[in-house]
Amino acid sequence: MSTEATTTPTTTTTTHGRIGDSALRPDGTLKVTGEFAYASDLWHDEMVWGVTLRSPHPHARIRRIDITDALTVPGVTAVLTADDVPGENAFGLEHADQPVLASEFVRYEGEPVALVAADHPETARRAAKRIQVDYEVLPAVTDARRAMDPDAPAVHRPGNLVRHLKLRRGEQSPAAPVVVSLDFEVGMQDQAFLGPESGLAVPAEDGGVDLYVATQWLHVDQRQICLALGMPPEKVRLVLAGVGGAFGGREDLSVHVHACLLALRTGKPVKMSYGREESFYGHVHRHPAYLTYEFGAERDGRLVYGRTSVVLDGGAYASSTAAVVGNAGTLGLGPYRFPSVSVDVYGVFTNNPPCGAMRGFGCVQAAFAHEALMDELADAVGIDRVAIRQLNGMREGDLNITGQVIDSAAPVGELLQIVADLPLPPPSDPSDIRALPGAVGNTTHGEGVVRGVGYAVTYKNVGFSEGFDDYATARVRLEMTGGEAVATVHTASAEVGQGLITVEQQICRTELGVERVVVHPKDTSVGSGGSTSASRQTYMTGGAVKAACEAVRTAVLDRAAGVLGRPAGELRLDGEKIAGASGEVLTGLAEVLGDDAVEETVEWRHRPTHAIDPETGQGDAHVQFAFSAHRAVVDVDVELGLVKVVALDTAQDVGKAINPDAVVGQIHGGSAQGMGLALMEEIVVTDGHVRNPSFTDYLIPTILDMPPMQVKVLEYADPHAPYGVRGVGEPPTISSGPAVAAAVRAATGRALRRVPIRPEHITGT
Amino acid sequence: MDFLQPTSWSEALDLRAERPDALPIAGGTDVMVELNFDRRRPGALLDLGRVPELSEWEADDGVVRLGAGVPYARVIDQLGAQLPGLAMAARTVGSPQIRMRGTVGGNLGSASPAGDAHPPLLAAGAVVEVASAARGSRDIPAADFYTGVKRNALEPDELIAAVRVPAATGPQQFSKIGTRNAMVIAVSAFACALHPDRRAVGTGIGSAAPTPRRAADAEAFLAGELQSAGLWESRAELPETLARAFGERVAAAASPIDDVRGSAAYRRHSLSVMARRAVTWAWSDLREAA
Ligand SMILES: Cc1cc2nc3c(=O)[nH]c(=O)nc-3n(C[C@H](O)[C@H](O)[C@H](O)COP(=O)(O)OP(=O)(O)OC[C@H]3O[C@@H](n4cnc5c(N)ncnc54)[C@H](O)[C@@H]3O)c2cc1C
């Protein structure tokens, strides 16, 4: 195999920044200057290109596939169908229910049916068009609310229910003097990561394969690939390639098995890289949701009960629907105290695009409903919208709706107070149209513009829940290189742009006192780091790196104890020195280590969580909760239905800001993504067909849509978490959208029970 | 695919005639998208980027002759005073990168109903100057240029040389609705131009019919009402009822559809609001100028 490849990820070395410093990200400058090597830049001199043929139908039976024509195209090296999958033709995060290549049925538009490898991507695409698939089109179920009807077509046997979460707590026929209710609908959001799915599979001499791929969890990919290839893990090695954003959309497999199949068949390295349109078909999306909510309260606004019924459209395959249902149920009433609760959340199969993980994971949909209803309640009892939330907001020591004790800070009231007290923006200057709704579209010079303010607050679980064995592995090595102490940290935890590499280095520096820290490429030659999702990596991989550093330190001091003839307990490792109890330098690290390296690998777990009771939904389901609040200020052109978000201010408790700049970056990005769902981001699906699979019509916020933010970060350490950290990435995505929607409701006086809010919802035309 | 690079206008026209399978490319901001999606595979690309005649504009006798290859960024920088409507529209096109590359000639070539240059060209009464090697040049009024969804009046051997736009003699406005505040294709768009010299009103509607089109009835109505109320002379305030009636007539001129970007009803509604507001701004500009 040629070594002329740009597949080998380089190690990353930096020398500055401990915990609490805003250490610079090594990838930052590269990304801004366009030099960062993303997975789509992977290259091998001998590679061929793989493409995917996808189903045009939401539901059909495959009668026959004829690949003869495609094989005759010059330059084509392989055409594969379901028959060519050597292992089990199935994958899936929680259930292996999704074929690698469709064999008998296709269940959604865009489902992979065949693969082509050719010497040029264009050749491969053309050949793919010459594959003849004889489909018998079947009736499709595309309305999630109808999926469980007895006469609905079954997407899978035995039926279309993925999970029903049932939660009952307290009085089940509660009476309350004030009752408010609503129906809410949330459209299908896309992760819209900027680097589309890409990977390069290189066949190896041992008959196995090396896969370089952009992903969120190398080991869960590896497990699924092994199943499909019928190979043991030693033969399927994964290396993380440059990831251009993830947001949950890379938790499920995309090019992975396909590229490996083609590589093993052709004996050549195979690159696969989706374009933007294919990317919309190539990953799961956020579940569309239909939510019915009812709250009962005392006349003073104190909540008496919450009752909800929610249907989540899981699309054609299970993906992580069951876990999303778990969140939408156990966290679905928001960070409030409810004496009694009745919750039913249904995740269903349809012939729509599969839905799964996306930042905020089930809490995003629920928050739109519970926050809209809290505003209703405030109005109904005649108190302020901030005050109603503070009155009912969770506090440390409270029980949540699954009966779990909130056993660290729960500053709901304080977060709301902070955002309520932040200065409000001045009225917009009508002489600068960029500041007005419609901006350079020049649709108003102030006519029709009404300002509105909205509030929202949320809490989100951090890490994997409901009894999942959630762990991360870290390997840390300490040695003297060129007269200098160097730590090398090796984890398989994916850096997807959130800054984990920097966090790993900061922890090593803090724990070992070294300056130079090398981050080994992320790959499967070390144990699993768990998923880069659920806001968990700083907590989990951070915890593992911390523990590995402690093990290294102990090992070094044990050695020093031997050399010095003193008990290890009296020694301290202080950078390149070994010091005694009162700080006196006793010897150097160089003397203790010589040419040796000390290396320790640690598998680290958070405290266990538990499954919830199937009848009552009660149980300690979650390991940690993270809280945030937003205040949105919008100007709405009420006659044209156009919105300008003028301010989007937030407060969030992060436990401990390991890297304060990165924390604020997460909050900015998450807030923008939540605002996008409130105002514009939707994959429009009609009868199972995606109508806007491009950035021409799937709109994400631009700089003229996103206001500057005031961000206030609280650091109430969680005593159970390493350094007290609390996950940061998701809460902003959850509370920003409902705050924006509330502000638009305030400006327009319209109910607006669906997001994204479109201009015609505001104008009523 | 051949890549043809003429360096003069006559060479470009010869190549256009010789190679019916060639696709002209100016800024490429539409063409490259089509190629990338494999929606087109022309036998050749006819690159007009090296034809110096196309990248010039000149003003003569109250008319601006805008070469087909002048990008939006230059329209914004250099023609804001003479062609304010077109410059305002140009400002709303895509992103800075697209405005550096994209051209008015390309917008005419694509003839999308959502093309932002079309409404102001219609409102100003522009003429498209096209040419072929065999028959020389001919003029097509903008109002006759758009013949169907993404179709125009060009013959297969013709290229667009320029668009001739009367320099503004009165205020012009352009408004465009998009569901975000920048970088967005029009859900609906409207342009108007007041021509006090000839006591006329020009309009252009975008994204609300199979082709960009004028609202001829609204134009005649408003010009007539201004005339009969003596407003062209008095420059008194524009009555709100008149602005509103004008807006309704503009909306009535549209034949919009429901699509993923917006509903037909919203398109109509937004046109009536945009037209009312735009004509009110234009009229108050006219009064201020007096
Ligand atoms: C990200 C993005 C955003 C966009 N946003 C907008 C927007 O907001 N508003 C908008 O209106 N458009 C938008 N567009 C579309 C495009 O930028 C415009 O239509 C632009 O005016 C095309 O000009 P061009 O020079 O790039 O044309 P090209 O792509 O080079 O050509 C377009 C068409 O015109 C033909 N053509 C070009 N020159 C001539 C000529 N001299 N004679 C005959 N035929 C010719 C070509 O053959 C082709 O059919 C956007 C495009 C992109 C990629």
The structure tokens listed for A180 are 């408010």
The CA distance from A680 to B264, in Å, is: 18
- Segment A471-504, tens digit of pLDDT: 999 999 999 999 999 999 999 999 999 999 999 9
Measured CB to CB, residues of chain A less than 8 Å from chain B are 122, 125, 275, 277, 434, 437-445, 447-448, 639-642, 644, 679-680, 684, 691-692, 696-697, 699, 701-705, 758-760, 763, 765
Q: Which of B141, B134, B130 is nearest to B166 (CA)?
A: B141
Domain ranges in chain B with CATH number 3.30.390.50: 172-289
**Ligand 1: nearest atom to the Cα of B184:** 8
pLDDT in tens, chain B (290 residues): 999 999 999 999 999 999 999 999 999 999 999 999 889 999 999 999 999 999 999 999 999 999 999 999 999 999 999 999 999 999 999 999 999 999 999 999 999 999 999 999 999 999 999 999 999 999 999 999 999 999 999 999 999 999 999 999 999 999 999 999 999 999 999 999 999 999 999 999 999 999 999 999 999 999 999 999 999 999 999 999 999 999 999 999 999 999 999 999 999 999 999 999 999 999 999 999 97
Chosen for mutation from A640, A683, A691 (greatest number of chain B CBs closer than 10 Å) is: A640
Domain boundary among A589, A605, A621: A605
Does any ligand 1 atom lie closer than 6 A to the CB of residue B33? yes
Phi and psi torsions of A194, nearest 5°: -80, -20
User: pLDDT at position B38, please?
Assistant: 86
Same domain, A305 and A271: no
Q: Is B175 in contact with A684 (Cβ distance < 8 A)?
A: no
Q: Is A703 in contact with B175 (Cβ distance < 8 A)?
A: no
Query: For A620-645, what is the mean pLDDT?
Result: 98
Same domain, A641 and A756: yes
CATH for B2-166?
3.30.465.10
Q: What is the DSSP letter of A434?
A: G
User: Are the C-beta atoms of residues A481 and A475 closer than 8 Å to each other?
Assistant: no
Q: Which of A282, A349, A286 is nearest to A314 (CA)?
A: A349
Is residue A395 assigned to a domain?
A: yes
The CA distance from A688 to A302, in Å, is: 43
Is residue A701 assigned to a domain?
A: yes
Chosen for mutation from B39, B93, B180, B277 (greatest number of chain A CBs closer than 10 Å) is: B180
Q: Does B187 touch chain A (CB under 8 A)?
A: yes
Same domain, A582 and A644: no
The structure tokens listed for A633 are 């200020």
A210, pLDDT greater than 70: yes
Side-chain half-sphere CA neighbours of A710 within 13 A: 17
Same domain, A311 and A262: no
Q: Is B176 in contact with A701 (Cβ distance < 8 A)?
A: no
User: Are the C-beta atoms of residues A165 and A344 closer than 8 Å to each other?
Assistant: yes
Specify the DSSP element, H or E, that contains A222.
Answer: helix A218-229
Same domain, A599 and A504: yes
Give residue A257's domain range: 40-138+206-243+250-275
Assembly ipTM: 0.97
User: Are the C-beta atoms of residues A428 and A435 closer than 8 Å to each other?
Assistant: yes
User: Are the C-beta atoms of residues A463 and A539 closer than 8 Å to each other?
Assistant: yes
Specify the DSSP element, H or E, that contains A733.
Answer: helix A731-748
Is residue A384 assigned to a domain?
A: yes
The CA distance from A737 to A755, in Å, is: 9
Is residue A111 assigned to a domain?
A: yes
The separation between CA B1 and the C-alpha centre of its own chain, rounded to angstroms, equals 31
| Averaged pLDDT score across all residues of chain A | 96
Q: Edge-to-edge strands of the sheet including B63-67?
A: B57-60, B63-67, B159-166, B127-132, B136-141
User: pLDDT at position A221, please?
Assistant: 98
Count of structural domains, chain A: 3
Going by alpha carbons, the residue nearest to atom 47 of ligand 1 is B24
Q: Does B150 touch chain A (CB under 8 A)?
A: no
Is residue A198 assigned to a domain?
A: no
Query: For A415-430, what is the mean pLDDT?
Result: 96
- Specify whether the backbone of A654 is left (phi greater than 0), alpha (psi in -120 to 50) or beta: alpha
The structure tokens listed for A236 are 């399927």
Ligand 1 centroid, distance to B94 Cα (angstroms): 11
Q: Is B277 in contact with A444 (Cβ distance < 8 A)?
A: yes
pTM: 0.97
Q: Edge-to-edge strands of the sheet including A624-637?
A: A449-462, A624-637, A642-653, A711-714
The structure tokens listed for A384 are 């302020």
Q: What percent of chain A has pLDDT over 70?
A: 98
Does any ligand 1 atom lie closer than 6 A to the CB of residue B26? yes
Q: Which residues of A touch B277 (CB under 8 A)?
A: 443-445, 447
Is residue A215 assigned to a domain?
A: yes
Q: What is the DSSP letter of A115?
A: E
Lowest mean pLDDT among A16-20, A335-339, A751-755: A16-20
The CA distance from A474 to A511, in Å, is: 14
What's the CATH code of the domain at A496? Answer: 3.30.365.10
Same domain, A586 and A659: no
Is residue A80 assigned to a domain?
A: yes
The CA distance from B277 to B258, in Å, is: 24
SS3 content of chain B, % helix, strand, coil (to 5): 40, 25, 35
Same domain, A444 and A314: yes
Looking at the complex, report in whole angstroms how far the Cα of residue A449 sits from the nearest Cα belonging to chain B.
Answer: 13
Looking at the complex, report in whole angstroms how far the Cα of residue A47 sits from the nearest Cα belonging to chain B.
Answer: 21
The separation between CA B103 and the C-alpha centre of its own chain, rounded to angstroms, equals 11
- Segment A734-749, tens digit of pLDDT: 999 999 999 999 999 9
CATH for B172-289?
3.30.390.50
A3, pLDDT greater than 70: no
Same domain, A378 and A448: yes
**Ligand 1: nearest atom to the Cα of B97:** 1
Looking at the DSSP bridge assignments, the partners of residue A166 are: A344
- Segment A647-670, tens digit of pLDDT: 999 999 999 999 999 999 999 999
Q: Which residues of A touch B38 (CB under 8 A)?
A: 122, 125
Looking at the DSSP bridge assignments, the partners of residue A379 are: none
Same domain, A121 and A256: yes
Question: Which residues neighbour B282 within 8 Å (Cβ) at sequence distance 6 or greater?
Answer: B170, B171, B172, B173, B192, B193, B194
Question: Which residues neighbour B172 within 8 Å (Cβ) at sequence distance 6 or greater?
Answer: B83, B84, B85, B88, B120, B123, B124, B191, B192, B193, B194, B282
Using 50, 70 and 90 to split pLDDT, how confident is the model at A581?
confident
- Segment A236-259, tens digit of pLDDT: 999 999 999 999 999 999 999 999
Residues in chain A: 765
The CA distance from B75 to B82, in Å, is: 10
A9, pLDDT greater than 70: no
The separation between CA B190 and the C-alpha centre of its own chain, rounded to angstroms, equals 10
Same domain, A420 and A536: no
Closest CB from A275, A447, A705 relative to B277: A447
Same domain, A372 and A514: no
Is residue A14 assigned to a domain?
A: no
User: pLDDT at position A4, please?
Assistant: 43
Query: For A150-177, what is the mean pLDDT?
Result: 96
Rounded (10°) CA dihedral A526, A532, A533, A535: 100
User: Are the C-beta atoms of residues A368 and A737 closer than 8 Å to each other?
Assistant: yes
Ligand 1 centroid, distance to A31 Cα (angstroms): 29
Same domain, A310 and A409: yes
What is the 3-state secondary structure of A627-661? EEEEEEEEEEECCCCEEEEEEEEEEEECCCCCCHH
The separation between CA A633 and the C-alpha centre of its own chain, rounded to angstroms, equals 27
Residue of B nearest to A438 (CA): B181
Using 50, 70 and 90 to split pLDDT, how confident is the model at A544?
very high
Closest CB from A441, A697, A699 relative to B177: A441
User: pLDDT at position A575, please?
Assistant: 84
Residue A482, Cβ density class (10 Å: 0-12 exposed, 13-18 middle, ≥19 buried)? exposed
